[in-house]
Structure 1
Amino acid sequence: MRYLLILLLAFVPKLNIDTQLDYCVEQATQTAASIPAAQPNLPRNVLNSKATWNYVGYKDWTSGFWPGTLWYVYEYTKDPKWKAKADSFSQELTPLAYQKAIDHDLGFQMYCSFGNGYRLTGNPEYKKILLATADTLATLFNPEVGTILSWPRPVPNMEWPQHNTIMDNMINLELLFWASKNGGSKRLYDIAVSHATTTMKNHFRPDYTSYHVVVYDRETGKKIKGVTHQGYADNSMWARGQSWAIYGYTMVYRETKDPTFLDFAQKVSDVYLGRLPKDLIPYWDFNAPDIPNAPRDASAAAITASALLELSTLMKDKTKAATYRTRAEQMLETLSSSQYQSRNVNSAFLLHSTGHKPNNSEVDASINYADYYYIEALLRLKKVRVGKRVQAPL
Structure 2
Amino acid sequence: MGIHKMFVSRPCNLNGDAAVTGDDAGVTPGLLRTRRPLGMIESSFVSHASDARLPAPIARSPLNKLLTIVMPTYNMEAYLSGALDSILACKRADRVEALVVDDGSTDATPRVIATFEQKAPNVVRGVRKENGHYGSAVNRGIAEAAGDYVKVVDSDDWVDGDALDELLAFLESAGEVDLVLSDYVRVFEDCEEPVSVADIPPRKVLPFSDVRLRPCIMHAITYRRDVLRKSGLRLDEGILFTDDEYALFPMAWVSTLAYVPEPVYRYRLGRAEQSVSPENLERTLADNWQVTQAVMAWRRSLAARGVQPANLAYVNEKCAAIAYEHIRRRLLSSDAEQGRRVTRELEAFLTDDVGIAPADLERHVRFLRATGYAGWGVLAAYKKRRAKG
TM norm structure 2: 0.30
Higher helix share: 1
Considering Cα pairs closer than 8 Å and 6+ residues apart, tell me whether 1 or 2 has the greater RCO.
Answer: 2
Largest Rg, 1 or 2: 2
